[in-house]
Amino acid sequence: MDTSQQLAAQAIGQVLGGRNLTQALENLWRLHPQLTPQQRAITQDLSYGVLRHYGQLQAVLEQLLERRLEDESVRCLLLAALYQLEHGKASEYAVVDHAVKAAVKMKKAWAKGLVNAVLRNFLRRREALLVAITDNEVARYSYPQWWIEKLKQDYPAEWTAILEAGNRHPPLTLRVNRRRVSGAEYLHKLEDLAIGAHPLGASAIMLDQPVPVEKLPGFLEGDVSVQDYGAQFAASLLDVHDGMRVLDACCAPGGKTGHVLETAAVAMTAVDSDEIRLARTRSNLDRLGLSAKLVKGDSGNPGTWWDGQPFDRILADVPCSASGIVRRHVDIKWLRREADLNSFTAQQAQILRGLWHTLANGGKLLYVTCSIFIEENQRQIDAFLAEQADARQLPLAGLRDGQLLPSADHDGFFYALLQKI
């Protein structure tokens, strides 16, 4: 356990220094190829757990320290151990003992006594320490204060539920490839393997407990894909039909690309600016037995790659703050800055303007974000409609203003369907 605490402390430190958690963990796996699957799993759980509850853990740690701890690696080790003591299942003695040993492994022998004293002090004073931070919103909800204030303003009746939903562990949801198997048939396959699950829609199935994808029947053959239920709305909202020319802009890693191709026999062009992520799209389509024209290009500047033939449908899944998917990407809460929204909205506006010229008259463009911030969503659409006389927004059945708020069933997404008139 001490190895996992030590490595988790390194990953947490990298995230708080500005690197995303996926990159931090991948870097650790490269540096420590000898790690067992169990050690990797514990390290990952600790890293995600600390960042999910960072506001609370940091506020508790500040009460336990007499002065600011300048050594960031020891601070992150203490955060990992505090997470285990408050939210984990390991014995308290083992957590403290392994944290002390981890300090030695980190060549921080001077910190042995400090680590031991801080953690034992927490165990003695746990209830009082937690009560003392109840009025601290950053500690209570584990989000930056600016994020909390934005949600209060945008969703005055729902902001606490949104924050709490983002701190839950995400479910594993599947999208059934209905070209190969029906939802009911796939549920029977899961039942035969004693994998508990329930349907969420015609193509969506949520597992009661996550399992490795290699244990899913037919996964390698393309029977199912892993995709959040909220993301699965895109294919039906795009309203595609056989024979259409369809563009998936900002397509990587290809989840929505594959879903559209499962829905109808269309001529698909999938564009992304990142060659590595475009390769992931190709891999996902290969597994599904589907094909598309894959293009490396900037969706905001179609002149560099577009052949001049207009598209009947465009899926514009634009870059955004990802504020709707923080339960899956817990580092986003602490990496994002409020000022980042300006660069995202500028990029989104450029992509909308660029793609609009490639859309056929009468064609439809589905604008998508995984954000819950209104300036990236309806406010962005309102600004586009104000400047684009040949655009109108179409209603979406079952979606309140196009906004899916995070819930137990799905992440947060925004959808807007625009038609060229």
Q: Catalogue the active-site residues.
A: 370
Q: Is the distance from CB of 388 to CB of 337 less than 8 angstroms?
A: no
145-148's contacts with Cβ under 8 Å and 24+ in sequence apart are 146/338, 147/323, 147/333, 147/336, 147/338
- Is residue 51 exposed (0-12), middle (13-18) or buried (19+ Cβ within 10 Å)? buried
Pairing label, strands 224-226, 267-272: unpaired
H or E element, residue 334: helix 332-335
**Can you spell out the DSSP letters for 57-111?**
HHHHHHHH-SS----HHHHHHHHHHHHHHHH--S-HHHHHHHHHHHHHHTT-GGG
Read off the amino acid at residue 202: A
Largest pairwise CA distance in the chain: 72
Phi-psi region of 392 (alpha: psi -120 to 50; beta: other; left: phi over 0): beta
Q: Is the distance from CB of 234 to CB of 226 less than 8 angstroms?
A: no
Handedness of CA 182, 184, 189, 190 (dihedral sign): positive
Measured between alpha carbons, how far is 329 from 412 in angstroms, rounded to an integer?
A: 12
The DSSP code for 5 is H
Q: Is the distance from CB of 240 to CB of 260 less than 8 angstroms?
A: yes
Q: Is the distance from CB of 236 to CB of 263 less than 8 angstroms?
A: yes
Q: Is the distance from CB of 394 to CB of 419 less than 8 angstroms?
A: yes
Place of tokens 């199935």: 205
The DSSP code for 408 is S
Q: How far is CA 15 from the centre of its chain?
A: 15
Measured between alpha carbons, how far is 417 from 421 in angstroms, rounded to an integer?
A: 13
206 beta partners: 173, 198
Q: How many residues does the chain have?
A: 421
Place of tokens 């397509």: 251
**Start-to-end CA span in the chain (Å):** 62
Q: Within 13 A of 133's CA, how many CA atoms are on the CB side? A: 21
